[in-house]
């Protein structure tokens, strides 16, 4: 078996040297444990936070520990009566080919006849739930309103725009490069897609939102936020989900604080609701999410795209690329088949 440990805390952008791949002996499960063989490992932006000791909502991975991560895995041996060899589960097994897991690390059993099991890490799992719950609890898009979301071809953003459309809102997607923009517009059905790398990005966004912005689902921060913020309408809602543009910052760039008074003034004078959230706080509505999303997936009203890389050794490079927009769709590492 193989696993990837955190070897060093990155300074700025992570590098391959911050990770270490090692071979280990397969262990036998003890009473109450199951032995898992990982089929898919999910790579997600939050993992950058786990590599750092900066104060956050979850504790960091320690140096020499296995990198954390959500996985779809198959039970290959079980000493827990609730699981049998062959079961496929969603589990926090981390960056490794095999894992000894306690039932506590297993989220749920998966039924491969319901949906492709990989979707439990994307559209039909945590990222999809993030989009669904952030809109339901905070964004609340209504028919005729304008919603904007960045990282629009990605795991969360793609679902945000499609749900907005299902509610009758106008969806404007922001993505990096012409291929992602074409996908967002032509395949996901957003009304407009804008490339945030275009030189006149802010002008294009303004033109795409003639009635201003009612809901801005914030995934990115940085230059995208700078272009969005002046367009926010009175009573705009901003679910603050992520700030990926600054995840590799080490805190030395304090220049952005200069905009704080102006920002606070606009939040006040335009009665803007800006609300940060971590999806787990809404976990009570997860069954409802599974039901509604399951329906949309079955009737074809929710589309998704996966970006699958092969083999555990590819994980560090793929993760480094995720923080720079190299992924196109939900990023997964494929380790094996059932």
Among 224, 231, 318, 320, binds ligand NDP (CB under 6 A): 224
Which class for 103: exposed (0-12), middle (13-18), buried (19 or more C-beta within 10 A)? middle
Q: How far is the CB of 20 from ligand NDP (least distance, A)?
A: 24
* CB of residue 331 to ligand NDP, shortest distance in Å: 6
Shortest distance in whole angstroms from residue 173 CB to ligand NDP: 9
Bridge partners (DSSP) listed for residue 19: 6
Q: Is 269 exposed, middle or buried (0-12, 13-18, 19+ CB in 10 A)?
A: exposed
Nearer residue to ligand NDP within complex by CB, 29 or 325: 325
| Nearest alpha carbon to residue 220 among 325, 138, 126 | 325
State which of positions 183-212 bind ligand NDP (CB under 6 A): 196
Q: Between residue 243 and residue 262, which ones bind ligand NDP under the rule CB under 6 A? A: 244-245
Residue 332 sits in the site that holds ligand NDP (CB under 6 A): no
Which tokens in the block code for residue 53? Answer: 């000791």
**For residues 45-84, which are near ligand NDP according to CB under 6 A?**
45-46
With binding defined as CB under 6 A, does residue 127 bind ligand NDP?
Answer: yes
- Selected range binding ligand NDP among 95-103, 112-120, 218-226, 257-265, rule: CB under 6 A: 218-226
| By CB under 6 A, residue 173 contacts ligand NDP | no
Closest to ligand NDP by CB, 172 vs 241, is 241
Q: What are the phi and psi torsion angles at 3 (to 5°)?
A: -150, 160
The beta strand positions in 87-197, using DSSP E, are 88-91, 98-101, 106-109, 146-150, 170-175, 192-195
- Distance in Å, CB of 57 to ligand NDP, minimum: 9
Shortest distance in whole angstroms from residue 131 CB to ligand NDP:
8
Q: First CA to last CA across the chain, in angstroms?
A: 17
- 94 secondary structure, DSSP code: -
Residue 174 Cβ vs ligand NDP, minimum distance, rounded to whole Å: 7
Q: Which of 130, 162, 204, 233 binds ligand NDP (CB under 6 A)?
A: 130
Identify the bridge partners of residue 194 per DSSP, sorted by sequence position: 174
- Note the residue count of the chain: 338
* Beta strand pairing call for 98-101 and 213-217: unpaired
Cβ pair 320, 45 in contact under 8 A:
no
Residue 222 or 294: the one with the smaller Cβ distance to ligand NDP is: 222
Task: Say how far apart CA 66 and CA 274 lie, in whole Å.
Answer: 35
- Residue 75, C-beta contacts closer than 8 angstroms, at least 6 positions apart: 34, 35, 36, 83, 84, 85, 86, 87, 88, 89
Three-class SS state of 29 = coil
Residue 101 CB, shortest distance to ligand NDP, in Å, is 22
Is 120 strand, coil or helix?
helix
Region 265-284 residues binding ligand NDP, contact defined as CB under 6 A: 277-279
**Of 42-50, 138-146, 164-172, 227-235: span binding ligand NDP (CB under 6 A):** 42-50
User: What is the smallest separation between the CB atom of 183 and ligand NDP, expressed in angstroms?
Assistant: 10
Q: How far is the CB of 10 from ligand NDP (least distance, A)?
A: 15
Instruction: Compare residues 127 and 141 and give the one whose CB is closer to ligand NDP.
Output: 127
Given the rule CB under 6 A, which residues bind ligand NDP? 44-46, 127, 130, 150-151, 153-157, 175-176, 180, 196, 219-220, 222, 224, 241-242, 244-245, 277-279, 322, 325, 327, 330
């Amino acid at each position: 078996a193989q696993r990837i440990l955190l070897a060093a805390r990155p300074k700025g952008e992570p590098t391959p040297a911050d990770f270490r791949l090692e071979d280990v002996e397969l262990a036998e499960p003890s009473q109450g444990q199951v032995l898992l063989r990982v089929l898919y490992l999910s790579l997600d932006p939050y993992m950058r936070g786990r590599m750092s000791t900066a104060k956050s909502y979850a504790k960091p991975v320690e140096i020499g520990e296995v990198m954390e991560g959500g996985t779809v895995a198959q039970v290959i041996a079980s000493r827990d009566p609730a699981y049998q060899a062959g079961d496929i589960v969603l589990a926090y097994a981390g960056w490794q080919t095999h894992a000894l897991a306690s039932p506590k690390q297993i989220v749920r059993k998966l039924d491969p006849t319901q949906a492709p099991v990989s979707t439990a890490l994307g559209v039909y799992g945590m990222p999809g739930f993030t989009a669904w719950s952030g809109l339901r609890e905070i964004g609340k898009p209504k028919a005729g309103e304008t919603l904007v979301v960045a990282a629009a071809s990605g795991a969360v953003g793609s679902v945000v725009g499609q749900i907005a459309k299902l509610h009758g809102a106008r969806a404007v997607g922001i993505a990096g490069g012409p291929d992602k923009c074409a996908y967002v517009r032509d395949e996901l059905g957003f009304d407009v897609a804008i490339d945030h790398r275009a030189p006149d990005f802010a002008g294009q966004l303004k033109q795409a939102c003639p009635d201003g912005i009612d809901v801005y689902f914030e995934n990115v921060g940085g230059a995208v936020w700078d272009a969005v913020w002046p367009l926010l309408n009175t009573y705009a809602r901003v679910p603050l989900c992520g700030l990926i543009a600054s995840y590799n910052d080490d805190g030395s760039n304090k220049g952005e604080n200069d905009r704080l008074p102006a920002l606070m003034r606009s939040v006040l004078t335009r009665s803007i609701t800006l609300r940060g959230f971590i999806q787990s706080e809404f976990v009570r509505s997860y069954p409802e999410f599974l039901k509604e999303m399951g329906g949309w997936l079955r009737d074809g009203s929710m589309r998704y795209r996966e970006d699958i890389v092969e083999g555990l050794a590819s994980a560090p490079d793929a993760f480094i690329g995720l923080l720079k927009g190299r992924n196109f769709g939900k990023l997964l590492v494929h380790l094996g088949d059932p």
